[in-house]
Copies of this chain bind each other. A is one copy, B any other.
Amino acid sequence: MTETDAPTTVRRGPGRPPSTHAQEAIRVAARRLFSAKSYGGVSVREVAAAAGVDPSLVIRHFGSKEALFLQTMTVDESFRGLVEGPLEELGRLILERLLTVRGGAAVSTYAALIGAIDRPEVRSYLEASADRHVVRPLAERLTGPDRHLRARLVATQVNGLLFDLRGRPDAGLAGRPTAEVLQVYARALQALIDDPTA
């Protein structure tokens, strides 16, 4: 076959082909440990031991501890399509998707990311992620004044909720079940989604 087709295989020169075996083991171990503990609470040596590889191999393959963290802890899948649906009930819809979809994976992953918010690259990723999946698509749909600012502040409200839900996988806030929290907080989101002049 020629090198112009076969999109699944990349043109490579001589040499041993890359193996995804250890990489996957590291990724799985890192995802589990980072979710259970936190960025600072997990050492590269610990991830390596859980994956059954040498600590230096982790850095070799992923560049740095922070790069490994960013590659394994992503929220884009949970955020995609978050602000779709009728505007009149979008506040409730957003929260439903965040808290219930995929067993609340967004919550625990976001918790880990917030725990590493010290790191400039983590902060950049979270800002870009919120901008791409929430602020910009929502601002386009809103009507009335201050559309971009209102969309940004909806993201702020979501950040606050995800921040406060840290470490409480299924239980809600202040001892309240998720459904109750969802219903009340949806009103607050809706206050920024609705056109204030209408």
Q: Name the one of B115, B152, B174, B181 contacting A118, with C-beta atoms under 8 angstroms.
A: B115
Per the bound structure, the CA–CA distance linking A152 and B168 in Å amounts to 15
Q: Which residues of B contact A117 (CB under 8 A)?
A: 114-115, 117, 166
Interface size class of A (residues with CB under 8 A): 35 or more
Residues of A within 8 A of B (CB): 38-41, 114-118, 123, 135, 146, 148-150, 152-153, 155-161, 163-164, 166-167, 173-174, 176, 180-181, 184-185, 187-192, 196
Q: What's the dominant secondary structure at chain A's contact region?
A: helix
> What is the total number of copies of this protein in its complex?
2
Q: Which residues of B contact A188 (CB under 8 A)?
A: 153, 157, 188-189, 191-192
**Residue of B with least CB distance to A160:** B160
